[in-house]
Amino acid sequence: MLALAFFSWWYSRGWQQLGERILNLIKETERSFSVSLLIRTLFKPWRRIITYPGSGLAAHFQSLVDNSISRLVGLAVRLAVLFAALITTIVLTLIGGVLLLVWPLLPPGILLTLLLGFTK
Protein backbone atom coordinates (compact mmCIF):
# COMPACT_ATOMS: atom_id res chain seq x y z
CA MET A 1 0.00 0.00 0.00
CA LEU A 2 2.85 2.37 0.84
CA ALA A 3 4.50 1.71 -2.53
CA LEU A 4 1.26 2.55 -4.32
CA ALA A 5 0.96 5.82 -2.40
CA PHE A 6 4.58 6.65 -3.23
CA PHE A 7 4.14 6.08 -6.96
CA SER A 8 0.85 7.96 -6.91
CA TRP A 9 2.58 10.96 -5.31
CA TRP A 10 5.72 10.64 -7.49
CA TYR A 11 3.86 10.81 -10.80
CA SER A 12 1.33 13.49 -9.78
CA ARG A 13 1.86 15.87 -6.88
CA GLY A 14 5.60 15.19 -6.55
CA TRP A 15 6.24 16.10 -10.16
CA GLN A 16 4.15 19.24 -9.78
CA GLN A 17 5.99 20.23 -6.58
CA LEU A 18 9.32 19.77 -8.35
CA GLY A 19 8.22 22.14 -11.11
CA GLU A 20 7.02 24.70 -8.57
CA ARG A 21 10.33 24.51 -6.69
CA ILE A 22 12.30 25.01 -9.88
CA LEU A 23 10.20 28.07 -10.79
CA ASN A 24 10.59 29.45 -7.26
CA LEU A 25 14.34 28.96 -7.44
CA ILE A 26 14.51 30.87 -10.73
CA LYS A 27 12.36 33.69 -9.30
CA GLU A 28 14.52 33.81 -6.17
CA THR A 29 17.61 34.10 -8.35
CA GLU A 30 16.05 37.10 -10.10
CA ARG A 31 15.31 38.67 -6.72
CA SER A 32 18.77 37.87 -5.35
CA PHE A 33 20.46 39.59 -8.26
CA SER A 34 17.94 42.49 -8.06
CA VAL A 35 17.47 42.36 -11.82
CA SER A 36 14.62 44.86 -11.94
CA LEU A 37 16.58 47.37 -9.85
CA LEU A 38 19.69 46.91 -11.99
CA ILE A 39 17.70 47.54 -15.16
CA ARG A 40 16.06 50.65 -13.70
CA THR A 41 19.41 52.09 -12.60
CA LEU A 42 21.48 50.93 -15.56
CA PHE A 43 22.76 54.40 -16.48
CA LYS A 44 23.00 55.84 -12.96
CA PRO A 45 26.42 56.87 -11.62
CA TRP A 46 28.45 54.25 -9.79
CA ARG A 47 27.81 54.44 -6.04
CA ARG A 48 26.35 57.90 -6.54
CA ILE A 49 29.79 59.34 -7.15
CA ILE A 50 28.97 62.69 -8.67
CA THR A 51 31.24 65.67 -9.15
CA TYR A 52 29.52 69.03 -8.90
CA PRO A 53 30.79 71.71 -11.26
CA GLY A 54 32.63 74.62 -9.82
CA SER A 55 32.99 77.98 -11.45
CA GLY A 56 34.63 78.24 -14.81
CA LEU A 57 34.58 76.29 -18.01
CA ALA A 58 37.41 73.92 -16.98
CA ALA A 59 35.57 72.91 -13.80
CA HIS A 60 32.39 72.21 -15.79
CA PHE A 61 34.32 70.12 -18.29
CA GLN A 62 36.09 68.21 -15.49
CA SER A 63 32.72 67.57 -13.82
CA LEU A 64 31.27 66.30 -17.10
CA VAL A 65 34.20 63.90 -17.60
CA ASP A 66 34.09 62.64 -14.00
CA ASN A 67 30.33 62.07 -14.09
CA SER A 68 30.55 60.35 -17.48
CA ILE A 69 33.23 57.99 -16.19
CA SER A 70 31.14 57.28 -13.09
CA ARG A 71 28.15 56.42 -15.27
CA LEU A 72 30.29 54.20 -17.53
CA VAL A 73 31.66 52.33 -14.52
CA GLY A 74 28.11 51.93 -13.18
CA LEU A 75 26.93 50.66 -16.56
CA ALA A 76 29.82 48.17 -16.82
CA VAL A 77 29.31 46.77 -13.31
CA ARG A 78 25.54 46.52 -13.69
CA LEU A 79 25.86 44.83 -17.09
CA ALA A 80 28.32 42.32 -15.62
CA VAL A 81 25.91 41.49 -12.79
CA LEU A 82 23.00 41.24 -15.24
CA PHE A 83 25.08 38.89 -17.38
CA ALA A 84 25.84 36.73 -14.32
CA ALA A 85 22.12 36.69 -13.50
CA LEU A 86 21.30 35.65 -17.07
CA ILE A 87 23.87 32.83 -17.04
CA THR A 88 22.66 31.63 -13.63
CA THR A 89 19.04 31.67 -14.79
CA ILE A 90 19.88 29.77 -17.97
CA VAL A 91 21.83 27.12 -16.04
CA LEU A 92 19.05 26.72 -13.46
CA THR A 93 16.45 26.46 -16.23
CA LEU A 94 18.46 23.80 -18.08
CA ILE A 95 19.12 21.77 -14.94
CA GLY A 96 15.47 22.11 -13.91
CA GLY A 97 14.29 21.03 -17.35
CA VAL A 98 16.52 17.97 -17.32
CA LEU A 99 15.34 17.15 -13.81
CA LEU A 100 11.71 17.42 -14.89
CA LEU A 101 12.40 15.10 -17.84
CA VAL A 102 14.33 12.55 -15.76
CA TRP A 103 11.87 12.61 -12.82
CA PRO A 104 9.46 9.98 -14.18
CA LEU A 105 12.35 7.67 -15.12
CA LEU A 106 13.95 7.54 -11.66
CA PRO A 107 11.77 4.92 -9.90
CA PRO A 108 11.88 2.41 -12.77
CA GLY A 109 15.58 3.14 -13.22
CA ILE A 110 16.31 2.40 -9.58
CA LEU A 111 14.33 -0.85 -9.74
CA LEU A 112 16.07 -1.86 -12.97
CA THR A 113 19.48 -1.08 -11.48
CA LEU A 114 18.70 -3.17 -8.41
CA LEU A 115 17.49 -6.09 -10.53
CA LEU A 116 20.55 -5.95 -12.78
CA GLY A 117 22.81 -5.73 -9.73
CA PHE A 118 21.31 -8.84 -8.14
CA THR A 119 21.50 -10.90 -11.33
CA LYS A 120 25.24 -10.39 -11.87
Instruction: Identify whether 38 is part of a domain.
Output: yes
- 58 versus 31: which is more confidently predicted? 31
Q: At what angle do helices 57-102 and 13-32 cross, to 10 degrees?
A: 170
**59 within a domain of the structure (yes/no):** yes
pLDDT digits (tens, 9 = 90+) for 50-72: 778 878 888 888 888 888 898 89
**What per-residue confidence (pLDDT) applies to 105?**
95
Is residue 53 situated within a structural domain? yes
pTM: 0.80
Torsion sign (Cα): 98, 103, 105, 109: positive
Is 118 among the domain residues?
A: no
Q: What is the mean pLDDT of the chain?
A: 91
Residue 91 lies in domain: 13-107
Cα dist from 27 to 6, 31, 42, 44, 59, whole Å: 29, 6, 20, 25, 46
pLDDT for 63 equals 85
Please indicate, yes or no, if residue 21 is contained in any of the structural domains: yes
**Is residue 40 domain-resident?**
yes
Residue 55 CA to residue 7 CA, distance in Å, equals 78
pLDDT at 93 over 80: yes
pLDDT of residue 95 exceeding 90: yes
Quick one: pLDDT band at residue 120, thresholds 50, 70, 90? low
Is 91 inside a domain boundary?
yes
Q: Mind listing the pLDDT tens digit for each residue in 99-115?
A: 999 999 999 998 899 99
Domain count, the chain: 1
In a domain, 113, yes or no: no
